[in-house]
């Protein structure tokens, strides 16, 4: 390895045994100050809005969840969300916050209406923290309650009350309006992005049939719940019509497609549990056991679920989540007096899915053939896969290909939190990999070094995949052999050179993930690292410090440019003093320069996968055997760069 992580000392600000500890060290923080100092405890990561799980979207969701709870209790049938780059407003038509409690509900911890199950049953938010977190982290937070012809407004700044109105008369219908502007200092010059908000709002409609969600004037509504959700997210044609089952506090949708692995969408009380939990584990077990019993065959569960795409939504009284961001359910029971989650889901699936298959024998036959095909493929590959695993162990993986991060090498403090922050850079060769290794965060950033161009997996068989050493070792490094449940890194970042060869390697890697692990992309784990194409310096005054800037305005004398437009602007800025460096390979960028490009403000583009992308056709055209067709396409669309427009 480049670094011996075992030898890294723990961070200590003072020598052991020398720090004093007395009454003056004890502090009591105001509620909003605690949230501002420890935002991760309340909303997870911060970010700037360029990723779907950044904190500003958690803030938006915390407000919307309260409106959803009103709908679930039978009050109001629409929610209006209006967002510009910096500010969001949410208007529901529920009961409205009781006017005498408007200030307390958004600014006093342990204050809310969801502790009494008579007012809110099976709500997603039970601890009264959500609105307070939004308030504390916003430079402007305004809440207005409309109730029975009267209204009351309160305005805050970073959790501190700025203005509180008297109760006045109004013609507005009942409900609550919340408007907030997150702190740009905390969220690093953020911007709300429609591409992340729309899927969130659509999920709300799938889970609350009949609810109309409005986003900047556009209306979204679902009539068929999880059936609509699967249709929205399927990127391949299902092998049979989607099985859609509904019961009291539970809804399922199941189908199979011709793809490897499994793909699930799970929800609790309207909350998208992206990390699963007890309900998803119980569901997968129940479906597998029911299908195995129905066919009376000793099928492996992995064969039954291979190619399965499914969704489950349940309602739980007083759910227990494993974090404030509610991405994983920890509840064992459906409620204080209810059955266990395992029994509730198992009983429903065993009865309803079994009945459905007996009533639809044609669909049962299609499922049987799919399971048998998966079984044949697995048995045919058993020897090859075993040999590949043995090879991965024999090749000194952690010394030769993978330079792992500390969170996976040691039992460190806060391991789960750091795992969510962990990432792996897939680089081309030792040169680029070496630059990253020297300046990476050894706690959470790993590096996997490719050798040359990987296999074009379009149309490749599983045997070719397993016998290809490069991709076999990559699978082992990511721990993907049994699907993405075991994924060792939250972000898989493709980091290739900014030239033709680098682009080709990037496309080959994307093809691999799209073909064999599409759910890795759908769940938001795959990214592409953007590194500067040019460095433009003022050769008269350049300090040559080698430090990058988030906004491409590093120092007054150095600008890092990620595209031609930025390059042209930088050249115009420095005029005849402009010194231009074209970075063709990552290895040409010094480690010190690279530090800024893979740090907290690194530019990464999330790879997305949607039905309308037509991935099958795209892959066939760009990665298939139609060489002449592609060659003609390149000739017809060739663009020759011309710098003559640069006015020095």
Weakest-pLDDT range from 96-105, 238-247, 336-345: 336-345
Tokens at residue 262, please? 């499994």
* C-alpha span between 91 and 216 (Å, rounded): 12
* C-alpha span between 135 and 126 (Å, rounded): 17
- Structure confidence at residue 390 (pLDDT): 66
Q: What is the pLDDT of residues 284-307, one digit of tens each?
A: 999 999 999 999 999 999 899 999
Helix axes 226-233, 194-207, angle to 10 degrees: 150
Q: Burial of 370 by CB count in 10 Å (0-12 exposed, 13-18 middle, 19+ buried)?
A: buried
List the Cα angle 268/274/276 in 5-degree steps: 65
Tokens at residue 431, please? 């040169």
pLDDT greater than 80 at residue 493: yes
Q: Burial of 28 by CB count in 10 Å (0-12 exposed, 13-18 middle, 19+ buried)?
A: exposed
* C-alpha span between 596 and 441 (Å, rounded): 12
Nearest C-alpha neighbor of 115 from the set 106, 125, 103, 101: 125
Confidence tier at 545 by pLDDT (50, 70, 90): very low
- What sections of 517-608 are H helices per DSSP? 518-522, 564-574, 591-597
Cβ atoms of 212 and 77 within 8 Å: the answer is yes
Please list, in sequence order, all residues whose beta carbon lies within 8 angstroms of the beta carbon of residue 11, skipping any fewer than 6 positions away: none
Portion of the chain with pLDDT greater than 90, in percent? 32
pLDDT greater than 70 at residue 535: yes
pLDDT greater than 50 at residue 551: no
What's the helix, strand, coil split of the chain in %, to 5?
40, 20, 40
Confidence tier at 418 by pLDDT (50, 70, 90): low
Instruction: Please indicate whether the domains covering 40-218 and 226-377 agree at the CATH topology level.
Output: no
- Residue bearing the bigger pLDDT, 556 or 218: 218
At 321, phi and psi to the nearest 5?
-105, 160
Question: What integer is the mean pLDDT of 346-350?
Answer: 94
Cβ atoms of 456 and 470 within 8 Å: the answer is no
To the nearest 10°, the Cα dihedral for 342, 348, 204, 156? -40
How distant, in Å, are the alpha carbons of 398, 443, 485, 487 from that of 393? Answer: 10, 24, 21, 18
* C-alpha span between 89 and 87 (Å, rounded): 7
Query: Locate tokens 């729309």: which residue?
Result: 198
Tell me if the pTM is above 0.95. no
Question: What integer is the mean pLDDT of 103-123?
Answer: 60
Positive/negative CA dihedral, 398, 399, 402, 403: positive
* C-alpha span between 210 and 222 (Å, rounded): 6
The residues pairing with 156 across neighbouring beta strands, listed in sequence order, are 141, 161
* C-alpha span between 123 and 128 (Å, rounded): 11
CATH domain 395-530+605-636 topology: Rossmann fold (3.40.50)
Weakest-pLDDT range from 186-200, 294-308, 312-326, 476-490: 312-326
Portion of the chain with pLDDT greater than 70, in percent? 81
Please list, in sequence order, all residues whose beta carbon lies within 8 angstroms of the beta carbon of residue 100, skipping any fewer than 6 positions away: none
Q: What is the pLDDT of residues 378-412, one digit of tens each?
A: 888 776 666 666 666 555 454 568 888 887 655 44
Cα 634–chain centre separation: 34
Query: Locate tokens 């045997």: which residue?
Result: 463
Beta strands 308-314 and 250-256 are antiparallel
- Structure confidence at residue 9 (pLDDT): 46
Tokens at residue 542, please? 């350049």
Question: What integer is the mean pLDDT of 164-179?
Answer: 94
* C-alpha span between 175 and 96 (Å, rounded): 4
* C-alpha span between 630 and 602 (Å, rounded): 33
Domain boundaries, the chain: 40-218, 226-377, 395-530+605-636
pLDDT greater than 60 at residue 546: no
381 C-beta neighbours (distance < 10 Å), count: 16
3-class DSSP state of 388: helix
At 130, phi and psi to the nearest 5?
-50, -60
Please list, in sequence order, all residues whose beta carbon lies within 8 angstroms of the beta carbon of residue 259, skipping any fewer than 6 positions away: 236, 307, 518
How distant, in Å, are the alpha carbons of 66, 79, 96 from that of 92? Answer: 9, 5, 8
Instruction: Please state which of the four CATH numbers 3.30.565.10, 3.10.20.310, 1.10.3720.10, 3.20.20.70 is assigned to the domain occupying 40-218.
Output: 3.30.565.10
Q: Residues, the chain, total? A: 648
3-class DSSP state of 299: coil
DSSP string, 461-474: -HHHHHH-HHHHHH
Query: Locate tokens 């149309």: which residue?
Result: 459
At 402, phi and psi to the nearest 5?
-115, 125
Distance between the two ends of the chain, CA-based, in angstroms?
48
Cβ atoms of 315 and 247 within 8 Å: the answer is no
* C-alpha span between 356 and 350 (Å, rounded): 10
The residues pairing with 333 across neighbouring beta strands, listed in sequence order, are 340
- Structure confidence at residue 332 (pLDDT): 73
* C-alpha span between 630 and 348 (Å, rounded): 51
* C-alpha span between 355 and 346 (Å, rounded): 14
List the Cα angle 423/428/434 in 5-degree steps: 70
3-class DSSP state of 71: helix
| Mean model confidence pLDDT for the chain | 81
Q: Specify the CATH architecture of the domain 226-377.
A: 2-Layer Sandwich (3.30)
494, containing H or E segment = strand 491-495
pLDDT greater than 60 at residue 589: yes
Positive/negative CA dihedral, 157, 162, 166, 169: negative
* C-alpha span between 129 and 39 (Å, rounded): 12
- What sections of 308-396 are H helices per DSSP? 341-359, 361-394
* C-alpha span between 536 and 569 (Å, rounded): 10
3-class DSSP state of 238: coil
pLDDT greater than 60 at residue 467: yes
- Structure confidence at residue 469 (pLDDT): 81
- Structure confidence at residue 502 (pLDDT): 84
């Amino acid at each position: 390895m480049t670094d011996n992580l075992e030898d890294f000392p723990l961070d200590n600000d003072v020598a052991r045994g020398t720090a004093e500890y007395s009454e003056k060290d004890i502090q009591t923080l105001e509620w909003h100050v605690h949230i501002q100092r420890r935002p991760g405890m309340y909303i997870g990561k911060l970010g700037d809005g360029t990723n779907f799980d950044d904190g500003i979207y958690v803030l938006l969701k915390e407000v919307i969840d309260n409106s959803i709870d009103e709908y679930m209790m039978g009050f109001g049938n629409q929610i209006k969300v209006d967002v510009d780059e910096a500010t969001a407003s949410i208007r529901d038509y529920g009961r409205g916050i009781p006017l005498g409690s408007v200030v307390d509900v958004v600014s006093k911890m342990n204050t809310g209406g969801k502790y009494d199950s008579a007012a809110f049953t099976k709500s997603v938010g039970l601890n009264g923290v959500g609105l307070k977190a939004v308030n504390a982290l916003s430079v402007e937070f305004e809440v207005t309650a409309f109730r029975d012809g009267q209204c009351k407004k309160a305005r805050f700044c970073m959790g501190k009350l700025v203005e509180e109105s008297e109760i006045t008369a109004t013609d507005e219908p009942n409900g609550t309006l919340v408007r907030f502007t997150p702190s740009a200092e905390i969220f690093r010059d953020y911007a709300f992005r429609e591409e992340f908000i729309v899927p969130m709002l659509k999920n709300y409609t799938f889970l609350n049939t009949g609810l109309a969600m409005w986003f900047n004037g556009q209306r979204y509504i679902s009539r068929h719940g999880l059936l609509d959700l699967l249709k929205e997210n399927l990127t391949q044609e299902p092998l049979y019509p989607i099985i859609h089952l509904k019961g009291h506090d539970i809804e399922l949708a199941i189908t199979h497609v011709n793809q490897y692995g499994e793909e699930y969408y799970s929800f609790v009380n309207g909350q998208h549990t992206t990390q699963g939990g007890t309900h998803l584990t119980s569901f997968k077990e129940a479906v597998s056991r029911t299908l195995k019993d129905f066919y009376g065959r000793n099928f492996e569960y992995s064969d039954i679920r291979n190619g399965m795409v499914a969704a489950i939504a349940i309602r739980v009284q007083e759910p227990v989540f494993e974090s404030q961001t509610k991405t994983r359910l920890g509840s064992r029971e459906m409620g204080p007096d209810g059955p266990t989650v395992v029994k509730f889901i198992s009983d429903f699936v065993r009865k309803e899915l079994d009945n459905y298959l007996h009533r639809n024998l044609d669909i049962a036959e299609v499922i049987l053939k799919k399971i048998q095909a998966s079984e044949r493929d697995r048995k045919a590959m058993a020897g090859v896969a075993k040999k590949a695993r043995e090879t991965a162990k024999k090749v000194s993986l952690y010394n030769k290909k993978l330079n792992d991060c500390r969170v996976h090498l040691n039992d460190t403090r806060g391991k789960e939190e750091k795992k969510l922050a962990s990432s792996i850079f897939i680089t081309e060769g030792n040169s680029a990999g070496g630059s990253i290794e020297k300046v990476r965060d050894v706690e959470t950033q790993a590096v996997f070094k490719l050798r040359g161009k990987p296999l074009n997996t379009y149309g490749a068989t599983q045997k070719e995949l397993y016998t290809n050493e490069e991709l076999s070792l990559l699978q082992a490094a990511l721990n993907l052999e049994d699907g993405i449940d075991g994924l060792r890194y939250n972000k898989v970042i493709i980091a290739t050179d900014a030239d033709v060869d680098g682009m080709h390697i990037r496309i080959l890697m994307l093809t691999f993930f799209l073909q064999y692990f599409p759910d890795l992309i759908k769940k938001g784990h795959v990214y592409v690292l953007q590194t500067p194409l040019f460095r433009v310096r003022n050769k008269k005054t350049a300090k040559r410090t080698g430090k990058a800037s988030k906004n491409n305005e590093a120092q007054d004398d150095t600008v890092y440019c990620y595209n031609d437009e930025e390059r042209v602007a930088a050249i115009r800025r420095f005029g005849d003093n402009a010194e231009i460096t074209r970075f063709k390979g990552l290895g040409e960028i010094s480690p010190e320069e690279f530090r800024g490009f893979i740090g907290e403000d690194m530019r990464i583009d999330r790879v997305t996968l949607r039905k309308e992308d037509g991935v099958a056709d795209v892959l066939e055209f760009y990665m298939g055997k139609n060489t002449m067709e592609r060659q003609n396409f390149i000739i017809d669309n060739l663009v020759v760069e011309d710098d003559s427009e640069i006015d020095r």
